Structure 1
Amino acid sequence: MPDAIIFDLDGTLADTETVWDGVRQGMAADAGIEWPEGATQAMMGMSTGEWSRFLAEEVGLPYPPEEVARLTIEQMAEHYREGITLLPGAIESVRRMAARYPLAIASSSPRVLIDTFIEVFGIDDVIEVCVSTEEVDRGKPAPDGFIKACALLGVDPRRTIAIEDSTNGIASALAAGMTVVAVPPHFHPPSAELLEKTTVLQTLDELTVDLVEELIPSPPAPVGDTGGKGSPGDIAEL
């Protein structure tokens, strides 16, 4: 069986990738800045420090990164308070997996938004570990967030499954040595080449215990272990 299951949040459990993009592009429009091509894709998976610097230095928002982060997170928190849309099967799949495995969330969202999501949707009783990439050195596609989540759970990344949606998120989990289940979004989906390295689902309704247990091979038996059938010496004495 897998050692654990680690979920991404934005675009995997909650339909918030478009909300993040709308907030950021709205800030640029308010400042009279044309949105650069490729900026949306570049920031998907970045940590708070990374995307706030990107918005200030690459997009050109007229604020220091700390102020960019504050303004963006305040607007996102308002969207959370007004209500966000869950993706199909999100909470049901979390509880289905929690019945069998330790669970974590490893997300690029700031900690305050992760905690708000968990509280609002009532899954604080089953999520054992949460990691925001603002708490590690590098955001996705670097593996830091997933590696920290595995360390906090006390599990081997090579025997742990990541549930992801975005290009940078999938690359992050693969770099951590994890097995990846991808639920590709319509919003900037990953390339077919990258998805070939994952197990692709249409929705989280398809995430079942039977499926994930097929994805992690059984560990090899210890040297000398004959599965209770006796050793070669035992057989020779019969």
Structure 2
Amino acid sequence: MSTTAHPLLDWSPEAVVFDCDGTLMDSERHWQDARNRAFREFGLQPPQGFADRAKGVHYADCGRMMAEETHKPDLAPDLTKALLHHFLALVAEEPLTMPGAVEFVRTLSGRLPLAVASNCPLEVVEESLGRAGLRRHFRHVVVPSEVPGDPDGTAARPVTGADAQVVRPKPWPDVYATAARLCGVPPEAALAVEDSLTGVESARRAGLRVLGVGPLTDEADARQADLWVSALHSEQILTWARDRVPPPAP
């Protein structure tokens, strides 16, 4: 989609909150490989179209979906555990960033607060960003504290450092609302950068404007974001970041 004369490009955010998988890190391929490995580990065949349905879904929900769609509901905990195990191994072997992500983050870094809002476990996000040399650019990393299918909170994970508020996974608005709050800005003053429709819905529900990034086959899907571009190395997006976001004070 063209970015020419787009209203979003006449706006200056006060904070930017990034998704991680598929936006900053090229990890969707790793999730797909991890799903396939987990299916094979239990002698199961991936259902047709499962990869599209699983994109952007919290890994615990994904494990449940894997079990339900292969008619093995009792395997949900084991599939979830296997999925995360295989993914972490793949990330450790080959952490990759998305096209333009590093330059875009570096352009914004120091100009305004940056945060990450992800459905992934905290250790996955921290490890991925650290290996890619990006972690130092982000003031906050927000992940769900409430794991799907765990109403008692026995598998809960931290939000960020000392924030104890319960945060539900996307498509709930919690991760984006929390990230904006931690950055010290109202949601409507923050920009979300997302690659999945699940994430776009989460950011929208939280009140953020949304820059969608990545390939799309349906124009109706693209219209769910304020603006959708194919990659973050778009010169118009980089020019916008340099021109519309004030540089840090000397």
TM-score by length of structure 2 reads 0.75
Identical amino acids, percent of aligned pairs: 29
Instruction: Work out whether residues 77 and 113 of structure 1, in 8 Å CA contact, stay in contact via their aligned partners in 2.
Output: yes
2:202, 2:217 → 1: CA distance? 13
Deviates most, 72-81 or 42-51 = 42-51
Which structure has the larger Rg over C-alpha atoms? 1
Note the C-alpha offset of 1:50: 2.0
- Pick the aligned partner of 2:85 from 74, 80, 97: 74
Question: Partner of 1:143 in structure 2?
Answer: 173
Q: Distance in 2 between matches of 1:59 and 1:122?
A: 39
Structure 2, gaps ≥5 residues long: 1-11, 147-165, 246-250
- 1:1-238 equivalences under 5 Å are 1-60=12-71, 64-135=75-146, 137-185=167-215, 189=216, 191-196=218-223, 197-206=225-234, 207-208=237-238, 210=240
Contact 2:143 2:167 in 1 (8 A): no
Q: Which runs of 5+ in 1 are unaligned?
A: 216-238
Aligned to 1:234: none
CA contact (8 A) 2:56 2:199 kept: yes
Residues 209 and 132 of structure 1, relative CA distance in 2, 3 Å threshold: farther
Q: How many residues get paired? A: 212
Assess, with a 3 A threshold, how the Cα gap between structure 1 residues 17 and 131 changes in structure 2: closer, same or farther.
same
Q: Which amino acid aligns with 1:205?
A: H
Question: Aligned AA for 2:172?
Answer: A
**Cα root mean square deviation, aligned:** 2.5
**Per-residue deviation, 1:18:** 2.1
> Is the 2:19–2:117 Cα contact (8 Å) retained in structure 1?
yes
Contact 1:49/1:134 (<8 A) preserved: no
The 1-side partners of 2:192 and 2:47 are apart by: 31
2:97 touches 2:132 (CA, 8 Å); kept in 1? Answer: no
Q: Which amino acid is 1:2 matched to?
A: P
SS in 2 for 1:94: helix
CA 1:160–1:81 in 2, change beyond 3 Å: closer, same or farther? same
